Structure 1
Amino acid sequence: DVNLFLTLLNDLFPNIHCPEISYENLNRIIKEILIKQQYILVSEQIEKIIQLYETMMTRHSTMLVGPTSGGKTVVLNTLAEAQTQMGMKTNLYTLNPKALSVIELYGTLDPLTQKYYLYVGEWTDGVVSMLYRMINRPAIRNERRYIVFDGDVDALWIENMEFMDDNKLLTLANGERIRLQDYCSLLFEVGDLKYASPATVSRCGMIYVDPENLGPYPIWKRWLSMNLTDRSNEKDQLDLLYDRYTKNVLNFIYHGLTETGQRPRMKMIVPFQVNIIVQLTKLLDSLFLPLINHEKKDQLELNSDKIHAIFLQAFIWSFGACLKQEDRIILDTFIKYLSGLSTVSIDSKAKSGQLPNEKFLLFDYIFQPELDQWIKWNDLIPKYEHDRSKRFTELLVPTIDTIRLGMIKTKNISVHLKYTISISPLLENDNIDLEWLIKSMITIHQPVLFVGDTGSSKTATILSYIRNFDSQYTNLILNFSSRTKSIDVQRSIESQLEKRSKDTYGPTAGTKLIIFLDDISMPKIDQYGTQQSIALLKLLIEKHGMYERTGELNWKFITDIDWIAAMSTPGNELL
């Protein structure tokens, strides 16, 4: 669309050249910040940062619009850091407006003390009115303060923001008026403008961030740069493996493209390719990095065949974990074809540089670097011994899926859990992999989401795993329903936390809290397609904190929490 627009502009104004304004100092600082944080320099992303800077020079309300995984947060944070290094100290105050009710956002008058037709009564501030007062306090020279509304736009809460007009006035329900100072601005980080009115759009500057400009490769390159800077051999081998598999498999899953033609598109839980690559890097964090970060005396000798086998193990469980069982079979065949490795006979054990017998799927095996072998999950299932002292609900018969799930991790839904797994209804001996998946992700403190139909043993397997944690961990189990609100979730979490410092909270010192969110998709969806409790979790998991709901409404940093969630397949259909 950009190229089409520029062509039309050239037709309307022929022979007129409009020179671009050069921000040499800003450009240099932006590149230095991105390189320091080990991001890959993408010209389109740098251009978006410049566009945001230019827009905010003329607008006090600006919207960053675009689907998740486009880099909106990186654009915003990089500009804030760049302005700080240029002598304009920039502070960001982030909230998710959909995590709170309108009253909690803007404040309320106590109806018991309010006099008839008068703005007199006991006034209680909301989070927005509190932040509005705070950023309007006298500032030091060249300071910038931005309120960032990181959440969906709807006609309910945003139409109350009359201070987006040029008069910059916030009028509260008690009649008080607060004017936005020149060093303050409002930023909106939203996925789309489906429910934004023309009046709202006309009051804001607009920057669209297209995920296609970023793509999955910069995510992969950044992971290599952050973790394998001094391991050039392993870095090069993994990059070659990425080139061999990733583009072909992404086209195969999302577009149905093969080397000889096209097939029907697979049903995938995760709609964005970037999220799949993030899952791949997280599994490599758990499976590969510990092998090279051990002390030299404990390090395994990693040749190219072992690296290939470990990469395959992570690859099939990052790409295949979000597919239905029938699609996993097709994907397995395609990955084996791309690998070019030979298969062993049905009675032989495959080593690195080989693949198990073609009668079995790679999903049925785990590669163990210490043994240099592909081991069947079936061989890892412990013998079931009945414990009569346990209640019926605490009993779990181990299967392939329960073992595997205890060792992995999963997805990015609107709550932004970082790893997603699709679970089909369990068959016999289909339970062991759950333990493997959970262990792999909890080890690196990565949130996990399990998606599957009713009867696929998600809850039973996860509860069984949680009960076996050592004393270092405590747990909180939250069962969601259609009536679950964000205040219910926040109060339940706060009941497990203690104050550790001025604004930092966590579980009892020396312990970590694992929160299991069961049926996370159950809360009622409002008329604008948002679930309030999910909006709170999005803020809490991404920003590691939340605002108090009473009192001074201070921001609370939350630490030492790991997350596991389970939900049914959305609408009983994959995306």
Structure 2
Amino acid sequence: KGELYVIDPKAIDKEGLYGVLDGTTMDWTDGVFTSLLRRILANQKGEAEKRHWIVFDGDVDPEWAENLNSVLDDNKLLTLPSGERLSIPDNLKILLEVDSLEQATPATVSRCGMIWFSEETITVKMCLTHMMLSLGSDDLVGNSLGGSESPSAQKGFLDAIQSLVIYDNERSTSLVEDAIEFALDQIHIMPPTRDRLLRTLKALLVKGIVQAIDYDENHPDFPMSGDHLNRFAKKWLLHSLLWSFCGSASWNIRKKFGDFLLRTSGMILPNEVSNLADYRVRVDNGEYELWSESVPKIEIESHKVTSTDIVITTTDTIRHSDVLGAWLSSRLPLILCGPPGSGKTMTLTSVLQSMQGIVLASLNFSSRTTPEIIMKTFSQYCSYVRRGKDIVLEPSESLGAQSWLVIFCDEINLPENDSYGTQRVIMFMRQLVEQGGFWRDDNIWIKINRIQFVGACNPPTDAGREVMSQRFLRHAPLLLVDFPARDSLMQIYSTFNGGMMKLFPNLKGETEALTEAMVEVYSDIQSKFTPEIQPQYFYSPRELSRWVRGMYESVVHMDQGLTREELVRIWAHEALRLFCDRMIEETERNWCEEKINQVARRHFAGVDHDKALERPLFYSTWLSKENKRVSREELRGFLCA
């Protein structure tokens, strides 16, 4: 019989691995490795009769690996700073499992036997075969089958897609094999790996199978027929391939990949002008339906305009919520990546809050974040429970029976690398996800239960960001959340402007023109002035949100009403403050002012534009409690006083 002990040496510090000598009392405290070694040597529970394997599963660097030199050579001795020497028994073997030896010294490399395990050792077809077998045998709906047969919908779904996933002819490749080769050649927000793409695909296929099983349970008299299930399964496979293989790529690549899937599979969309990403698959008839048909019309009250927690439902948010829901249900860690202001955090938190049995703990990572921040979160939300021989950490009963703790790590790629290129907190999270536990300070292995990690971050190319380890990313589905398209911006900000215009019923008809004018100014300035010209020329939808809030704060206390000229003047004032004030060159400011004038004249008809856009254009709360129009002389007089 053998015993296996897995240690990630980068998830704990050097003292936690080997031990520490108290400089005052000269007392020695064992670390994880020394305590395991001492336990094997003590032979209190028949350890001498077993074979033991200690696996160092993590990045190799000289700081911890050099201390093993005397252990790995013929001496087989571990010398502690206290002067004590521990010999390595013959029934103990030490393995180092690494993805790179870039930081290893020749002294370490020369002492180890070496086996190179290539990615080609396990082929794509082997991975797909394993995935299909596990999908067929897993209890996907939690009914504890106990050896009984899987639901017929589960078997029928897999039979329908079998030939598209694994092709029987050895000389040919299947749709999924071609798709993964196509996807790996594309540009993604973070480099894709085969393992991550297939894990992500499996999570989405599980959701499709569960939908089919639920449909049969809810329609016992009329379960899915063979043709119905066949249509649904094949369309769902294409949907799953699109979002699992190119969810981390741009919309252009998603469209190209969707066209490739349709062309290769022979499927036809209801509207040839659209692309695959525009459709979802209906379980009740196995046909395509436009995502846009599921978007509800929303109205908000005027006092909600300045709220920061309102999510306006758009085609993008429905699509993202559906995909995120599938990944969250699979209990995988997941990451949203995208530019600042694209709505990553808002989308993720709204999906989490809509799910039952979830307790959300939010953490903001910084460049100095260490694993201790996660341990503090555990101590706040979780408790230790003994189950047989194991000690398990799980959410406290006070949070609800069987509830899941979801730890949301915002700015997950901000923690800086150590001297040897490792993010310790990310390695600690990898250990929790991959090994299902961690080594506590008293050198006891603690299993975790019902704990899930989700994250959001800016692209790794942004300043101050680090490239995250593929050893963690391979477990985490990744979704690129880009800036909303024009249609989504119109939908979001016409809702906010409509709420603001409820204060002035006589101006309700201006909502559409107001929104179109805002989106046009924003889009034109965003495309002309980029961060490559000046770092501050970065424009996101947050500008539009500030624009709406600035206008609302200017008009909310106007009891005497608001004229159309005054509305246009306030609109232009906020635009000048948001866009023109950050311009450096005089020519740039002139272009910006002229653009605002042009857009105002085009969209606001029946207004005295010369009066509305007369310069100088200032509003201030300095001279009164309300935000009122002021002249340059009045402001100068106030400042001089």
Length-normalised TM-score, structure 1: 0.70
Report the alpha carbon displacement of residue 391 of structure 1 after superposing the two structures with TM: 7.1
* Cα distance change of structure 1 residues 129 and 364 upon mapping to structure 2, 3 Å threshold: same
Measured in 1, the distance between the counterparts of 2:305 and 2:351 equals: 15
Tell me the equivalent position of 1:202.
110
The structure 2 residue matched to 1:365, chosen from 279, 296, 301, is 279
Tell me the equivalent position of 1:374.
288
Measured in 2, the distance between the counterparts of 1:246 and 1:95 equals: 36
Report the alpha carbon displacement of residue 380 of structure 1 after superposing the two structures with TM: 1.6
| Alpha-carbon displacement from aligned partner over 1:503-529 (angstroms, at most 9, x marks no partner) | 012012312211111111110111221
* Cα distance change of structure 1 residues 108 and 358 upon mapping to structure 2, 3 Å threshold: same
Query: What amino acid maps onto 2:55 in structure 1?
Result: V
Tell me the equivalent position of 1:237.
160
Matched, 1:504 2:392: yes
* Cα distance change of structure 1 residues 193 and 462 upon mapping to structure 2, 3 Å threshold: same
The 3-state SS of whatever aligns with 1:501 is: strand
| Alpha-carbon displacement from aligned partner over 1:132-182 (angstroms, at most 9, x marks no partner) | 212333235641111111101112110111312221111111111111111
Tell me the equivalent position of 1:332.
258
Measured in 1, the distance between the counterparts of 2:267 and 2:404 equals: 43
Query: What amino acid maps onto 2:289 in structure 1?
Result: I
Measured in 1, the distance between the counterparts of 2:53 and 2:123 equals: 28
Q: Conserved in 2, the CA contact under 8 Å of 1:270 and 1:276?
A: no
Tell me the equivalent position of 2:73.
165
Report the alpha carbon displacement of residue 200 of structure 1 after superposing the two structures with TM: 0.5
Which residues of 2 match residues 423-438 of structure 1 at below 5 A? 433-438=319-324
The structure 2 residue matched to 1:122, chosen from 12, 27, 47, is 27
Matched, 1:445 2:352: no
Length-normalised TM-score, structure 2: 0.63
Tell me the equivalent position of 1:542.
434
Report the alpha carbon displacement of residue 441 of structure 1 after superposing the two structures with TM: 1.9
Measured in 2, the distance between the counterparts of 1:452 and 1:522 equals: 14
The structure 2 residue matched to 1:486, chosen from 367, 371, 395, is 371
Over the aligned positions, Cα root-mean-square deviation in angstroms equals 2.4
Matched, 1:276 2:197: yes
Query: What amino acid maps onto 1:536 in structure 2?
Result: F
* Cα distance change of structure 1 residues 222 and 386 upon mapping to structure 2, 3 Å threshold: same
Measured in 2, the distance between the counterparts of 1:341 and 1:478 equals: 44
Stretches of structure 1 that go unaligned for 5 or more consecutive residues are: 1-88, 114-120, 256-264, 343-354, 404-432
Tell me the equivalent position of 1:300.
224
Measured in 2, the distance between the counterparts of 1:147 and 1:280 equals: 33
Q: Conserved in 2, the CA contact under 8 Å of 1:216 and 1:277?
A: no
Question: Which structure features the higher share of helix residues?
Answer: 2
Q: Conserved in 1, the CA contact under 8 Å of 2:124 and 2:177?
A: no
| Alpha-carbon displacement from aligned partner over 1:64-98 (angstroms, at most 9, x marks no partner) | xxxxxxxxxxxxxxxxxxxxxxxxx1111111100
Query: What amino acid maps onto 1:507 in structure 2?
Result: P
Stretches of structure 2 that go unaligned for 5 or more consecutive residues are: 138-149, 168-173, 471-641
Matched, 1:101 2:13: yes
Report the alpha carbon displacement of residue 233 of structure 1 after superposing the two structures with TM: 5.4
The 3-state SS of whatever aligns with 1:228 is: helix
Measured in 2, the distance between the counterparts of 1:189 and 1:329 equals: 39
Q: Conserved in 2, the CA contact under 8 Å of 1:136 and 1:184?
A: no
Matched, 1:386 2:300: yes
| Alpha-carbon displacement from aligned partner over 1:522-567 (angstroms, at most 9, x marks no partner) | 1011122110000100000111111113xx2211111011222112
Which residues of 2 match residues 170-249 of structure 1 at below 5 A? 170-228=78-136, 234-242=157-165, 243=167, 244-249=174-179
Tell me the equivalent position of 2:57.
150
The 3-state SS of whatever aligns with 2:86 is: strand
Measured in 2, the distance between the counterparts of 1:319 and 1:527 equals: 33
Report the alpha carbon displacement of residue 270 of structure 1 after superposing the two structures with TM: 4.3
Report the alpha carbon displacement of residue 302 of structure 1 after superposing the two structures with TM: 4.5
| Alpha-carbon displacement from aligned partner over 1:359-409 (angstroms, at most 9, x marks no partner) | 212111110111433122212223334364797332222222222xxxxxx
Measured in 2, the distance between the counterparts of 1:272 and 1:468 equals: 31
Tell me the equivalent position of 1:415.
none
The 3-state SS of whatever aligns with 2:386 is: coil
Query: What amino acid maps onto 2:361 in structure 1?
Result: L
Q: Conserved in 1, the CA contact under 8 Å of 2:62 and 2:103?
A: yes
The 3-state SS of whatever aligns with 1:464 is: helix
Report the alpha carbon displacement of residue 248 of structure 1 after superposing the two structures with TM: 2.3
The 3-state SS of whatever aligns with 2:225 is: coil
- Aligned length, in residue pairs: 427
Q: Conserved in 2, the CA contact under 8 Å of 1:291 and 1:299?
A: no
Which shifted more, 530-539 or 268-277? 268-277
The 3-state SS of whatever aligns with 2:100 is: coil
**Which stretches of structure 1, 4 residues or more, deviate above 4 A after TM superposition?**
229-234, 293-296, 387-391, 572-575
* Cα distance change of structure 1 residues 445 and 481 upon mapping to structure 2, 3 Å threshold: same
**Bigger CA radius of gyration:** 2
Report the alpha carbon displacement of residue 253 of structure 1 after superposing the two structures with TM: 3.1
The 3-state SS of whatever aligns with 2:415 is: coil
* Cα distance change of structure 1 residues 140 and 170 upon mapping to structure 2, 3 Å threshold: closer
Measured in 2, the distance between the counterparts of 1:286 and 1:234 equals: 12
Query: What amino acid maps onto 1:335 in structure 2?
Result: L
The 3-state SS of whatever aligns with 1:157 is: helix
Query: What amino acid maps onto 2:295 in structure 1?
Result: I
Query: What amino acid maps onto 2:315 in structure 1?
Result: I
Tell me the equivalent position of 1:402.
317
Measured in 2, the distance between the counterparts of 1:326 and 1:310 equals: 21
Query: What amino acid maps onto 1:241 in structure 2?
Result: L
The 3-state SS of whatever aligns with 1:570 is: coil
Measured in 2, the distance between the counterparts of 1:394 and 1:146 equals: 51
Report the alpha carbon displacement of residue 216 of structure 1 after superposing the two structures with TM: 2.2
Measured in 1, the distance between the counterparts of 2:459 and 2:100 equals: 24
Report the alpha carbon displacement of residue 124 of structure 1 after superposing the two structures with TM: 2.1
Q: Conserved in 1, the CA contact under 8 Å of 2:200 and 2:327?
A: no
Report the alpha carbon displacement of residue 449 of structure 1 after superposing the two structures with TM: 1.5
Measured in 2, the distance between the counterparts of 1:217 and 1:240 equals: 12
Report the alpha carbon displacement of residue 228 of structure 1 after superposing the two structures with TM: 2.6
The 3-state SS of whatever aligns with 1:500 is: strand
Measured in 2, the distance between the counterparts of 1:362 and 1:110 equals: 64
Q: Conserved in 2, the CA contact under 8 Å of 1:292 and 1:299?
A: no
Tell me the equivalent position of 1:14.
none
Tell me the equivalent position of 1:252.
182
